[in-house]
Structures are given as structure tokens and as C-alpha cells.
A = this chain, B = another copy of it.
Amino acid sequence: MNLPAPPIAASSEIPDVLLSLFIVLLAAKIGDEIFKRLKQPTLIGEILAGVIIGPAVFGLVEPNQTLEVFAELGVVFLLFWVGLETRLSDLAKVGGTATRVGVFGMILPLIAGFFGARLIGESTETSLFVGAALVATSVGITSAVLLDLKALKTRAARTILGAAVIDDVLALVLLSIVVGIADTGGVDVFSLLIVIGLSLGFLVFVGFGGIQLVRRWPDIFHAPKFAESPLLPAIILCLGLAAIAAEIGLAAIIGAFLAGMIVAETQDKHDFEKEVAPLYAFFPPFFFAFIGLQVELSAFGDPLVLVALVAVTLIAALTKFAGAWLGARAMGAKEALIVGVGMIPRGEVGIIVAGIGLGKGVIDGNVFTVIVGMSVLTTLIAPTLLKRLLERP
């Protein structure tokens, strides 16, 4: 029975949206189970499931806004969980190294991307966008692998998390500069200072401030008013900080990570972890599968595009690895390797930056496709390497 759309919020699309949620979750679970048996990182199975049911292969499901929101909530709850497992003091201990990892891990891909694009004749604006798209690490992917292997408490994991926060602030500043140049040909120093001020202010006031607040009132989520369950107030905090971070222009997951660290300061962290677990089981598969849903294979029929994809992926992976490894090399050979590999995945972040460039007409469809392909490939390469490194005695 095909009923027409009622005027309020397209109600008749609900059955189809439910169906797409069902198909994505089922496919992701199947991919997950297959890769568990193959002893490969399960998130790769979920991403490939997205590729298979998506436009690239069978076209059963198109990316839609609801799926995108579920994907975003997937990585938000993932980083909330990671925050629950992280203490500020642990991050502070690796602060210096994390900063070096973040900075070097940004500079090398930016330079390589910019000059690489210039070399093949792209304009300055386009080359800047390519450089920017190569910069930002998607910490969601690495976090999932670290969680899966129960390696979140290691020093290398802390360093990656700290570096990811710094990486995201740097990427935001860089993106603001690049967008400014594309829009007006120059950089508006004043609005740049606002971006920097807002993002640092958010980190310091909300992160440190929130943690101090909860340390002073450790039962704040357990006050009699929330007697029933402290879960919902914690989830509301997570959504709120994620939304604010996203409105500022930072990644939503930075807010979720801070929210997790704040909640972790309350007394009975373990109750939270048990309560959040079902949300963590439900949403993240959408995050991984959605990456796969965004893959388009048709453009790679052109051998030039395919060559560009391989080259860009190698440059993106090697320069990020080299920069992060350089920043972390004081930690010793093995840990520097883990940090270097852990920073490689670009995931959804590279796709978003490329999308902005495409929207501005600064990069064309082929460059966009190559960057999306690079984001997915770096995301597929890193977990397998990381799993091997972490499981090696």
C-alpha cells in the first residue's frame, strides 16, 4: 500500500527508513561475525558490509540523513566509552609526546599533499584543500581497534587519544584558513582567532572545568533527583558536549570524549560502562557501515584515477605514519610504531573535508572520489596492522 506523504515531516518515509536501519544493522553484524572468524578486525567486516549493500555493489541502501545521524551517534558513543576509560592524569602524562605526534602528524601530510597536488598542476587553492584533507585523523577507527583488543590503558593508546584531540584542533584551524583562502583569497585573522579561542576555550573550560566540578561533587549524577538511573543524565551530557563541539566546528567526538572523561570521575564508573554497553553495541555498526556506504567504484574505471588513488593513499599513510612516529620515537621503537600506525586512518574526517572542497568548487569530482577512496583505504589498512602490532609479544 503506497500512501502519499503527509505534510508533517514526511511520515510515510518511516517504513523505508526502518527498513534501511534493519538492512544496515543486519549486514554489519554478518560482516562482523565473518571477520571475527577470519581473526581480522571486525570493523573492516562492517565497512565492507556497507560497501556491499551500498551503491558500490548491490545498491540495497543509499546513504540517507538518518543513517548519517546514526553513524555520527555511533562514533559519538564510541568515543564516550573511550572517555569513560580515560583519566585526565593519564593524558597529562603523555602530553608532550601527544603534542609532538599531533603537530608532526599534521605537518608532513599537509606539505606532501600540497606540493604533490601542485606538482601535477593543481591550483594553490585546490592543493591547499588536498593537503587539508590529508591531515585529519579519524580516531574513531583506532579507538575501536584499541577497545576491541583491550589495549586502551596502554601508554601508546593514551598518546594516540591525546594526539587526536590536538590533531582535531589543528585540523579545524587549518580548515578555517583553507576555506578563508578559497572564499576570499586571504585569511581573516580575527575570525581565525575566534575559531582558536572557541575550541581551546571549550577544551579547557568544559574538559578541565567539568572534571574539577565532578571531582568536587562526585555524586552529581546520583543526586536523589536522578535516583532511578544516572544513565540518562550522562547521555544528555554526552549529546550536549558533542553538539557544542560540532557547532564550534570541532569534531562531535571530541565533546563526547570529554563527556566520557567527566562522567568517569564519578564514583561508580563500572555501572556506567555496563549501562552504556547496549548503546555502544547498537550505534557503532552504523558508523562503520556508513563509511562503506559512501564508496563509489564507478570513477575508478579511469586508470588515471586509480593510479592517483594508490599514490594519494600511499602518501597519506606514509607521511602520517612518519610524522606521528617522529613525534613518538622517544617512547621506544614498538610504541612509536603503534602510535604511527594508529594515526593513519582518515575515516569520515577526510570525506567531510573533501565534501566541503567539492561544495566550494575548489576540488572536482575526481579529486573528491580519490580522497574518499584514500579515507576508506587508510581506514581499512590501519586496523589489520595495528592488531598485529598489539598482539605481537
Contact = CB atoms under 8 A, between A and B. Distances in A.
Contacts of A281: 229, 231-232
Contacts of A279: 278-279, 282
A373 B93 CA distance: 59
Query: Per DSSP, are chain A's interface residues mostly helix, strand or loop, or mixed?
Result: helix
Contacts of A116: none
Interface string A239-281: 1101100111100100000000000000000000001111101
A52 interface: no
Can you tell how many copies of this chain the complex includes?
2
Contact of A352 (B6, B22, B33, B63): B6
Nearest to A285: B232
Interface residues of A, number: 70
Given A66-B69, A69-B66, A281-B229, A236 B14 contact: no
A359 interface: yes
B252 A356 contact: no
A143 interface: no
Given A14-B246, A25-B239, 13 more contacts: A1-B191, A4-B360, A6-B355, A9-B63, A14-B68, A22-B242, A25-B236, A33-B225, A65-B65, A65-B66, A66-B66, A275-B277, A278-B279
3 closest Cβ pairs, A-B complex = A6-B355, A15-B246, A18-B243
